[in-house]
Structure 1
Amino acid sequence: MSAPAVTRRDADAEIRSTVRIPLSVAPMMARTDRHFRYLLRQITRRSLLYSEMVHARAVVRGRRERLLAFDAAEHPLVLQIGSDDPADAAAAARVAEAWGYDEVNLNVGCPSDRVQAARFGACLMAEPERVARIVDAMADAVSIPVSVKHRIGIDDLDRYEDLLGFVDRVAASGACARFTVHARKAWLSGLSPRENRTIPPLRYDLVHRLKRDRPDLTIEINGGIQSLAEAREQLERVDAVMIGRAVYDRPMMLAGADRDLFGAADERQPSSREVLLAMLPYVERERLAGTRLQEISRHMMGLFAGEPGAGAWRRRRSAGQHRPDAGPELLLAAAPSASPTES
């Protein structure tokens, strides 16, 4: 599948729909695969979804069907890549566009040792010139938006002036459509990726200041946001909000997103059971294609979180999902009974 011969400069006048979407679900390794994204689409039609991070060279040379395939229902959808090389990143961006992704995002936030060893992720915050070259190359290769996800800083590069300098350099050419800022710094040694998500303090004030100082840039805030109510508060200060693990643990927290954050007053908020029922045809279709139930149902652990019967749902779902013949009937049998308003 070849990429179309278009460039960013051909599309400068066009405002792409992904750029101003006020809510997104963060890219998460081993979590935001196509099955979890399909589940989320039964809950929110409008929120922006992300792939797991994929290295640019894997996008170009790897098994694309396994790495990149998605259901049309998942739009709007962003492919997140990792790279330290402008040519590799541009080639991956062309593949992303050819495969139908709505946007391509560069990861400049992951602090893991493995990622650092490959010289991409959060360590690139020390090299704003390189990041700018990568983003410019990506944007010149495609007509879809290019964005960057990064931290407020790394190690001793944690002053506001360091953050502002990084953003200004990357923004200079106009190639970056959106800056998604994780409001924690990253320690590149001494903390694990999990610890880097919790130990460095949240500094929402720095992201808010960035938006005040650079009002013409699209700034999205990420880190520690636990509810739509918190997202609404943040939207008074920034353009968009990204939520991660809270959504994975409690996907139904997004049930009111289309109505409350996107102004879709006529869209009915689904119940958790309705979401489950909507998933059953997908589960059966995937089962017939060779997908084991566990690959899908593991993402549904928190579907009934906070509701009566949630614990029993988790136990019953887990008990039989490993059987080779397990299918949608197991999920239906494991689900809590319908409430009187749903029956």
Structure 2
Amino acid sequence: MVNPSDSVTRAARLSVAPMMDWTDRFCRGFHRVMSRQALLYTEMVTAPAIIHGPRARLLRKDVAEHPVALQIGGSDPAELARATALAAPFGYDEINLNVGCPSDRVQSGCFGAVLMKTPERVADCVRAMIAESPVEVTVKCRIGVDEQNPEGVLPDFLARMRDAGVRRITIHARKAWLEGLSPKDNREIPPLDYPLVHRMKAQFPDLHLSINGGLTADHIPEQLQIMDGVMVGRAAYHQPWDILGSADRLWNAAPPCAGPADAALATRPLIAAWLDDGARIHQITRHMLGLFHGRPGARLWRRTLSEGAHKALTPAQGLALYDAALDQVREATEAA
């Protein structure tokens, strides 16, 4: 019998990063149409929100999203344990602790990248989460923060995570500067240090390590020569077909869609179901604007959906708008 965590580890060969305001259930459903194999992540949900907030809405997902991981933010072991236990019935394939978000405070206190300064606290957190989780608990971290020396900080952090029972870690190959840089700047300004992350894989061969940060489709094959997994964020969102369209070949599986137009058609039944369930068309199509990136009709696709989807449309009108945008792409492709 295959351990369920083994299949998730296999899926982690390529994953789409958790991204606030982006990787909601509509985004994940769309991404799953293009890849049956890649591991998908939710947006980060804080532990207090899971405990005290509208849990059913925050943790809602579709069965078709699997394999899918829930990322939780927090810094209190008891609170994280409680949130993990409450999330268990929702059936996520993995629970991930955020130790990489470049924001130093939210609601109950410190979380995210600032936790790189207190690895012993992170170890206590993951131990508490593991005790309450029926699925694997993983960590996503930075190489360090502020004035820390990543050469010393990162291996110590990984060793502590391993000792606490974590076996799979994703490393964003940038420092985070908690003072002076915005979260957006922290995704772009601190220099990438891929060689350091590669050295960590050599130093910790028993850990499953994925690399993240600034990666595009061209990086994936070379990174997989060294690392166990690659996590792609913004490129997967803005150019989803380029990242996910042929991704399943990494598992020696046939891609489910022949091209971006095929993916758009395959997503249409999902859109119809979501609209009938009360979603608005713009909530869905905002995640799809980059589907035809670099291809004939891309601008018409973006413009039609961007300008039309924000109107008060019925489900039927929303689908008609979607169909019109796709027709324009077809016409542009035929004319090219």
TM-score tier after normalising by the smaller chain length:
over 0.9
CA distance in 2 between counterparts of 1:196 and 1:208 reads 21
Deviation at 1:316, TM superposition (A): 1.2
Q: What secondary structure does 2:287 align onto?
A: helix
> Could you tell me which amino acid in structure 2 is paired with residue 104 of structure 1?
I
Is the 2:5–2:135 Cα contact (8 Å) retained in structure 1?
no
Q: What secondary structure does 1:104 align onto?
A: strand
Is the 1:107–1:149 Cα contact (8 Å) retained in structure 2?
yes
Q: How far does the alpha carbon of each residue in 1:184-220 deviate from its partner, in whole angstroms, 9 at most, with x for none?
A: 0011101111111111100001100001011111111
1:121 aligns with 2:109: no
Query: What does residue 237 of structure 2 align with?
Result: 248
Deviation at 1:39, TM superposition (A): 0.4
CA distance in 1 between counterparts of 2:105 and 2:150 reads 26
Range with bigger deviation, 324-333 or 298-307: 324-333
CA distance in 1 between counterparts of 2:271 and 2:4 reads 38
1:312 aligns with 2:300: yes
Is the 1:183–1:202 Cα contact (8 Å) retained in structure 2?
yes
Unaligned stretches of 5+ residues in structure 1: 1-12
> Could you tell me which amino acid in structure 2 is paired with residue 198 of structure 1?
E
Query: What does residue 40 of structure 2 align with?
Result: 49
Q: What secondary structure does 1:273 align onto?
A: helix
Query: What does residue 261 of structure 2 align with?
Result: 273
Query: What does residue 193 of structure 1 align with?
Result: 183
The 1:115–1:221 alpha-carbon spacing in structure 2 relative to 1, beyond 3 Å, is: farther
The 1:291–1:55 alpha-carbon spacing in structure 2 relative to 1, beyond 3 Å, is: same
The 1:202–1:48 alpha-carbon spacing in structure 2 relative to 1, beyond 3 Å, is: same
CA distance in 2 between counterparts of 1:248 and 1:82 reads 22
Is the 2:247–2:255 Cα contact (8 Å) retained in structure 1?
no
Is the 1:24–1:242 Cα contact (8 Å) retained in structure 2?
yes
CA distance in 2 between counterparts of 1:205 and 1:223 reads 13
> Could you tell me which amino acid in structure 2 is paired with residue 73 of structure 1?
A
Is the 2:104–2:111 Cα contact (8 Å) retained in structure 1?
no
CA distance in 1 between counterparts of 2:238 and 2:39 reads 18
Identity of aligned residues (%): 48
CA distance in 1 between counterparts of 2:286 and 2:105 reads 26
Report runs of 4+ in structure 1 exceeding 3 Å deviation.
13-16, 113-117, 266-269
The 1:55–1:182 alpha-carbon spacing in structure 2 relative to 1, beyond 3 Å, is: same
Aligned partner of 1:205 among 195, 207, 212? 195
CA distance in 1 between counterparts of 2:83 and 2:251 reads 31
Is the 2:34–2:256 Cα contact (8 Å) retained in structure 1?
no
Deviation at 1:166, TM superposition (A): 1.1
The 1:47–1:118 alpha-carbon spacing in structure 2 relative to 1, beyond 3 Å, is: same
CA distance in 2 between counterparts of 1:131 and 1:268 reads 39
Query: What does residue 271 of structure 2 align with?
Result: 283
1:337 aligns with 2:330: yes
Q: What secondary structure does 1:124 align onto?
A: helix
> Could you tell me which amino acid in structure 2 is paired with residue 263 of structure 1?
N
Unaligned stretches of 5+ residues in structure 2: none
CA distance in 1 between counterparts of 2:256 and 2:82 reads 41
CA distance in 2 between counterparts of 1:83 and 1:270 reads 41
CA distance in 1 between counterparts of 2:86 and 2:171 reads 25
CA distance in 1 between counterparts of 2:180 and 2:311 reads 41
> Could you tell me which amino acid in structure 2 is paired with residue 293 of structure 1?
I
Structure with the largest fraction of helix: 2
Is the 1:16–1:145 Cα contact (8 Å) retained in structure 2?
no
> Could you tell me which amino acid in structure 2 is paired with residue 307 of structure 1?
R
Q: What secondary structure does 2:128 align onto?
A: helix
Aligned partner of 1:221 among 201, 211, 217? 211
CA distance in 2 between counterparts of 1:165 and 1:109 reads 16
CA distance in 2 between counterparts of 1:121 and 1:59 reads 16
Is the 2:33–2:256 Cα contact (8 Å) retained in structure 1?
no
Is the 1:116–1:123 Cα contact (8 Å) retained in structure 2?
no
> Could you tell me which amino acid in structure 1 is paired with residue 76 of structure 2?
D
Query: What does residue 160 of structure 1 align with?
Result: 151
Q: Number of aligned pairs?
A: 324
CA distance in 1 between counterparts of 2:24 and 2:5 reads 27
CA distance in 2 between counterparts of 1:64 and 1:117 reads 17
Deviation at 1:284, TM superposition (A): 1.6
Structure 1 vs Structure 2 CA RMSD: 1.6
Query: What does residue 15 of structure 2 align with?
Result: 24
Deviation at 1:115, TM superposition (A): 4.0
CA distance in 2 between counterparts of 1:14 and 1:247 reads 26
Query: What does residue 9 of structure 1 align with?
Result: none
Aligned partner of 2:223 among 234, 237, 240? 234
Is the 2:140–2:169 Cα contact (8 Å) retained in structure 1?
yes
> Could you tell me which amino acid in structure 1 is paired with residue 301 of structure 2?
W
CA distance in 1 between counterparts of 2:195 and 2:227 reads 11
Deviation at 1:114, TM superposition (A): 4.2
Deviation at 1:276, TM superposition (A): 1.1
Is the 2:245–2:255 Cα contact (8 Å) retained in structure 1?
no
Q: TM-score, normalised by structure 1?
A: 0.91
Query: What does residue 100 of structure 2 align with?
Result: 109
